[in-house]
Amino acid sequence: MRLAIWSTTTPRENSTHPEMFQRQLEEVELADRVGIDQIWFFEHHLQPTAPVPSPNLLIAAAARRTRRIRFSSMVNILPFRHPLLVAEEAAMLDNLTGGRLDMGLGRGLRPPEFEAFGVDQQQSREMFLESFDIIRRVWADENFQHQGKYWTVRKDAPLSPPLVQRPHPPFLVSAQSEETLRWAAQHDIPFAQIDSMIDQAKRDQAFYRGVQMAHGHPPESRLYVMREIYVADSDDRARAEAQPYLLQYWELWNRYTQFTHGGKLPDSYDFWRRQAPMLHAMSFDDIVASDMVILGSADTVAKAILRLASQLDLMGLAMIFKLGAMPYDLVERSMRAFGEEVMPRIRGVLDRSATVSRAAARSRCVA
C-alpha cells in the first residue's frame, strides 16, 4: 500500500497568498522527508477557498525542492483545456520532475467552473474521453490529424520535449460512478475515491475487478481511498483540535448538496446528487466512527489504517492533513507524528519497494 497526500490549498486568516503557497511547498518537503510516496494537487477555478487553477504549476515548483516523492494532479480537468496542450505540458513536467509524474485525470464536478468556461457540463464525459484518446496519441508520438466533436488536432512534428517515462507516465483517475469505474477498469487505470464509505469502496472495487479481468488484465490492486488524518498525543486532544477545522472542510458537501437541490448537477452526475446530501447529513461522531476520517493518537490512527487495509485491497491511501483552514503548526505537528510514530506501526502494509513496483505499474499502463 502506498501513501499519498492530497495537498489541499485553503487561505488562512491574516495570511497572504504568497505565504500560503510557500507553506504548501514546505509541506511537500516535509512529506518527502518523512517517507510519503506521492503528493497530489487539485484544480479549481474562481473558488476563493481553493485558489489553485493550475496543479501543474505547483508540481513544477515543488519538483525543485524534492528528490524522491512522486507528483500527480488530482486532477487535470480535461474539458477545460485543449488535449494537445495537456499532453505537452505533462511531457514537460515529466522532464522537470525527472520522471516522477503521475497523470491524474478527471472531467470536473463544480457547476460554477463549467459556467465560467462556457462548457456544457452534460457533455463532460464525452469531452473527457475524446481528450484522453488524443493525449495517448500525442504521447505515443504519432503524427496524426484529428477532427473530433470537441477538438481539432494536427500533429506533424515530434513531441517536444519527449517523455522521460516509457511508454508514458502512469495514469490516475477519480472514479466513483459506474461509468467511470468501468472505463478505468477496461484500461487498468488506478482510481481514487474521495470520502467513500467502506461498503461503497468494497462494491466498487469488486465491480472494477470484474471488468478488469474481463478485459484481460491481472486482478491487481488499483484503489486509492482518501481519508482526512489528524494525529495528536491523545485521542481526546486530536478530536478537540481537529473538530472545528474538519467541520469547516466537510462543509464542501453542503455546497454540492445545494448544487443538487438547485438542479445544477446534470444527470451524468447522478452519483454525486445522491452522495453529497448523504455526506452532508453525517454528524462529526458519525464521520469519526465510520473511519471516514481518522483522528487520534498515533496508535489509534495506525489501527484505523490497518482496519482499512484489512477491509479493502488498497493500492494506496490518499491522506488530507490540512483540514479546512487549520493552522500550519498543527498540520506540521500532525504530519511529523504520522511519519515518526504512525508509519512504523503500519510498516507491514506499506509498499517499500517503490522503485520496482512503480516500474511494474508503468509497464501495465495504457500503451
Distance CA 288, CA 30 (A): 26
Output the pLDDT for position 365: 41
Distance CA 142, CA 241 (A): 54
Strand partners, 4: 38, 318
Output the pLDDT for position 104: 98
The amino acid at 261 = H
Distance CA 228, CA 251 (A): 14
Output the pLDDT for position 13: 85
Of 80, 64, 8, 78, give the one whose Cα is nearest residue 32: 64
Of 163, 171, 92, 131, give the one whose Cα is nearest residue 364: 171
Domains present along the chain, CATH in parentheses = 2-246+290-364 (3.20.20.30)
Q: How many residues does the chain have?
A: 367
User: pTM score, two decimals?
Assistant: 0.92
CB of 161 within 8 A of CB of 92? yes
The amino acid at 366 = V
C-alpha cell at position 289: 466512527
Strand partners, 85: none
The pLDDT profile of the chain, 367 residues, written as one tens digit per residue, is 999 999 999 898 889 999 999 999 999 999 999 999 999 999 999 999 999 999 999 999 999 999 999 999 999 999 999 999 999 999 999 999 999 999 999 999 999 999 999 999 999 999 999 999 999 999 999 999 999 999 999 999 999 999 999 999 999 999 999 999 999 999 999 999 999 999 999 999 999 999 999 999 999 999 999 999 999 999 999 999 999 999 998 999 999 999 999 999 999 999 999 999 999 999 999 999 999 999 999 999 999 999 999 999 999 999 999 999 999 999 999 999 999 999 999 999 996 444 434 434 443 344 4
Output the pLDDT for position 351: 63
**Strand, helix or coil at 148?**
coil
Of 102, 54, 81, give the one whose Cα is nearest residue 153: 81
